[in-house]
Amino acid sequence: MGNYSTLWVAKDKGIYNEETDEYLEVKYAIPLFWIALFTVEDITTLKDEDDSTYYTFSASVLKACDTFKSRLNIWSTLYNNDKAEVLAKLFLAYFERIPTFNVELNVTDIMGMSIDPFSEEAKECMIDMVHFIDEKQKNPNYISPSKMWLPTNFKLEVPKDRYLDIDGFGEELLPYPELDELLNQNLIQNESKYPNQSISKNKSNRLKISFFLISIVIILFTLIMCSIL
């Protein structure tokens, strides 16, 4: 298990072409924009090579865009930041340029961190993910039902927040200069606030190594003295 959520944007449903299609992975998280592309009706049942049943989200880009548009008003409130909604519109524009493509979100791998991804429970978890987006739209204080794959705190402060929790594309694939500059600046400021953390960690590691070497020397000395006596 690699613990990834995977988004396929493919010209032909069920077929991936490296030259024409997009394949994106995010580790230990499922970006909320990815889930917001789908409804419960988009949960698709599939079979793997061992004939085991698993589930994915799958829809035409055209349908996914309509679904995402219906949720545009959630983001600025959820993150208490108007830039989150602008980012959502950029995300939507990315898909609107390829309306004939298909988009699929596979969360089998990441759900395997805590449940059997081939069970009916996996499908129920996927339904909960969609309901989470819809409930957040109605009530920003709604608590996430997820075990570990959705955020519990909603912040947009550093690039990691954007990439893991929100869009999963990052500034290279989905540039938003005004936001990216702000997030990167926040990251630099946070690192400068706590410059001694990494130094302290290194010192601690050096001390552990020193004590380990001293212990070995003492043991060897004791063994030599015992053999002599």
Residue range 73-116, pLDDT digits in tens: 999 999 999 999 999 999 999 999 999 999 999 999 999 888 88
Q: In whole angstroms, what separates CA 189 from the centre of its chain?
A: 24
> Which residues on neighbouring strands pair with residue 24, listed in sequence order?
7
Q: In whole angstroms, what separates CA 12 from the centre of its chain?
A: 25
Return mean pLDDT, the chain. Answer: 84
Q: Provide the residue range defining the domain that includes 129.
A: 4-193
The total number of structural domains in the chain stands at: 1
* Residue 127 belongs to some domain of the structure: yes
178 band by pLDDT with thresholds 50, 70 and 90: very high
* Residue 130 belongs to some domain of the structure: yes
Model pLDDT, residue 106: 95
Q: Is 217 a residue whose pLDDT tops 60?
A: no
* Residue 38 belongs to some domain of the structure: yes
Work out the average pLDDT over 44-64. Answer: 91
63 band by pLDDT with thresholds 50, 70 and 90: very high
* Residue 34 belongs to some domain of the structure: yes
* Residue 220 belongs to some domain of the structure: no
* Residue 149 belongs to some domain of the structure: yes
Helix segments in the chain, DSSP class H: 32-35, 61-69, 75-78, 82-96, 108-111, 120-138, 159-160, 170-173, 177-193, 196-228
* Residue 30 belongs to some domain of the structure: yes
Q: Is 193 a residue whose pLDDT tops 80?
A: no
Q: Which residues of 31-46 are buried (b: 16+ CB within 10 A; e: fewer)?
A: bbbbbbbbbeebbeee
The more confidently predicted of residues 219 and 205 is: 219
* Residue 224 belongs to some domain of the structure: no
- Token code pair at residue 57: 């989200």
